Amino acid sequence: HRIADELRVALQNEDFVLHYQPQVDIVSEKIVGAEALVRWKHPQKGLIMPGNFIEIAEETGQIQQLGEWIFKTACKQLKIWLNQGLDDFKLAINLSAHRLEHSDFLSKVEKILLLNNINPQQIELELTESGMLRDTEKALELLNHLKLRGFALAMDDFGTGYSSLSYLKRYPFDQVKIDKSFIKGINQNNDDTVLVKTILSMAQHLKLTVVAEGVETYEQLAYLRELGCDRAQGFYFSRPVPPDEFAESLFASQ
Ligand code: G
Ligand code: G
Ligand code: NA
Ligand code: MN
């Protein structure tokens, strides 16, 4: 596979970068967190988005090394911002379920936490249901462990999978992220509105916080606030941006 060969070189050279997109408290409109999103800095093709290489990295097993780089880089960055006086901030890191199957996973995570002196309570791990189907018992055990260790767990792209509800019941999530496809038509499309209202009411009963993803307009934000959604993430506030650019808006918002 040509991309897999190029990825191998990229992993050696660390040709990746994390961009950060703010998560905003809907009532105070303050930045309370960010999601780290990986990009590949390709020497010829420029920035390549994760949709074009994460799946391949999962198929080839390269996701183990890439995921470790992502976790390490996110922790280093988080430490810098914490040292600059930030508090009450959570960094969300996407975790491919493939990584849970690797026997070294937990020891690698612990090593990186220790090296950067990071408390897991400042980190939220985002998981999608895709890929979690192979060994659910082992996944459950690991997620329970991560939760006890202090990590917050978020279910990503909520509503797009086949079994979102049974995943919520089975795994110890703290937060759901409503997929952007449902936010798109909110307040215009009756089906989207009903679905979002239902997700919010269910999350309230289960004591989960809710992040709306893909918030692009003031109208969407205002409506989500009216419905009692906790947080919002989307282009209305900011696209995912490089760390320095993110830090400017972050510290301006404190
Ligand atoms: O960043 P974009 O803006 O293009 O992200 C597209 C998809 O890639 C998202 O659905 C996200 O789940 C996935 N993705 C982005 N960054 C990471 C990452 O660091 N690890 C994993 N496993 N997936 C990621
Ligand atoms: O992990 P996940 O698939 O949820 O990653 C978020 C993806 O959504 C990234 O590709 C990011 O660039 C994209 N995104 C973030 N905010 C918005 C938005 O407001 N509108 C749209 N269309 N995409 C967004
Ligand atoms: Na995500
Ligand atoms: Mn998502």
Q: Are strands 90-94 and 31-42 parallel, antiparallel or unpaired?
A: parallel
Write out residues with Cβ below 6 Å of ligand 2: 21, 37, 94, 156-157, 180, 213-216, 234-235, 240
Residue nearest to atom 20 of ligand 1 (CA): 94
CA 144, 146, 150, 156 dihedral sign is negative
Query: 33 alpha carbon to ligand 3 midpoint, in Å?
Result: 13
Q: Which CATH number fits the domain that encloses residue 148?
A: 3.20.20.450
**For the segment 36-45, what is each residue's pLDDT rounded down to a tens digit?**
999 999 999 9
Please give the number of the atom of ligand 1 that sits closest to the Cα of 58: 22
Tell me, what's the pLDDT at 187? 84
Residue 18 near ligand 1, beta carbon < 6 Å: no
Q: What does the DSSP assignment read for 45-76? A: TEEE-GGGTHHHHHHHSTHHHHHHHHHHHHHH
Q: Is 177 left (phi over 0), alpha (psi -120 to 50) or beta?
A: beta
Question: Can you tell me the mean pLDDT for 34-62?
Answer: 97
C-alpha to C-alpha distance for 70 and 49, rounded to whole angstroms = 14
User: Total domain count for the chain?
Assistant: 1
pTM score, two decimals?
Answer: 0.97
Tell me, what's the pLDDT at 133? 64
DSSP code of residue 13: H
Residue nearest to atom 13 of ligand 1 (CA): 50
Residue to mutate (ligand 1; options 94, 179, 235; most atoms within 8 A of CB): 94
Question: Can you tell me the mean pLDDT for 77-92?
Answer: 94
Query: 21 alpha carbon to ligand 2 midpoint, in Å?
Result: 9
**pLDDT score of 78 more than 70:** yes
What's the pLDDT band for 188 if we cut at 50, 70, 90?
confident
Residue 37 near ligand 1, beta carbon < 6 Å: yes
Tell me, what's the pLDDT at 164? 82
Residue 194 near ligand 1, beta carbon < 6 Å: no
**For the segment 132-168, what is each residue's pLDDT rounded down to a tens digit?**
766 788 899 999 999 999 999 999 999 888 778 888 8
Q: Are 56 and 4 in contact (CB under 8 A)?
A: yes
Q: Which residue carries 């400042």 as its tokens? A: 122
Query: 209 alpha carbon to ligand 1 midpoint, in Å?
Result: 21
What's the pLDDT band for 253 if we cut at 50, 70, 90?
confident
How does the average pLDDT of the chain come out, rounded?
A: 94
DSSP reduced 3-state for 119: coil
The rounded Cα 31 to chain-centroid distance in angstroms is 15
**pLDDT score of 61 more than 90:** yes
Query: Structural domain of residue 114, as residue ranges?
Result: 2-253
Tell me, what's the pLDDT at 131? 65
Tell me, what's the pLDDT at 137? 87
Tell me, what's the pLDDT at 177? 97
* H/E segment holding residue 157: strand 152-158
Residue to mutate (ligand 2; options 39, 180, 183, 238; most atoms within 8 A of CB): 180
